[in-house]
Structure 1
């Protein structure tokens, strides 16, 4: 059905954030659509545990569409220009990002 657990645990995957190689059993699955429980027809990307901990685990509704929209506007602009435009659009739509007390 799913293959042996031993085979899955020995497989090596690449972290999409830092590029490091890590054993599959030591990685976390990442689904850009935010629904890792629906597995039919999907190939998951992976994050190492350190990069996974650094992620914001808040809902990311509309994120994929926003990134595609910015790419359509900016094209092959530099990473700095892309991120500047992302920040501008997010602030326009959702207001300024404020630091919150923990």
Structure 2
């Protein structure tokens, strides 16, 4: 039997925590490849939070966050380590703008 079309799935925005009907949210794929759907589960963002995102490529960002144990240390310690690692790997912003 087919699921009822009148039933609305509710999802939670990973940025602000608001619950929204699925059709009022956007899928978020932490690997940046939402078109390859095999074996994936998606997180969701409300339309407002999705609009606030930077939509530039983030090739190595997720791996970097895992390497730096994001979410497992206090914010100040994480940001200090993040900035130092980014500068070490990619140079300063001033260097990249030259």
Range class of TM-score, shorter chain:
0.7 to 0.9
Question: Alignment partner for residue 90 of structure 1, among 86, 89, 95?
Answer: 86
RMSD: 2.4
Detail structure 1 runs of 4+ shifted over 6 Å in the superposition.
none
> Deviation digits for residues 1-35 of structure 1, max 9, x if unmatched?
xx669357x11100000111011000000000111
SS of equivalent residue, structure 2 residue 31: coil
Q: CA-to-partner distance for each residue in 1:28-82, whole Å, 9 max, x for gaps?
A: 00000111001111110000011101111111111121111111xx894212211
Could you tell me how far apart the structure 1 residues matched to 2:93 and 2:15 are? 23
Larger relative helix fraction: 1
With normalisation by structure 2, the TM-score equals 0.81
1: CA distance, partners of 2:58 / 2:84:
17
For the residues of structure 1 that align with 2:4 and 2:57, how far apart are their CA atoms?
30
Q: Which moved more, 1:86-95 or 1:15-24?
A: 86-95
Change (3 A) 1:24 1:95: same
Distance 1:46 1:33 in 2: 14
TM-score, normalising length: structure 1: 0.78
* Runs of 5+ unmatched residues, structure 2: none
**How many residue pairs align between the two structures?**
93
Give the unaligned 5+ runs of structure 1: none
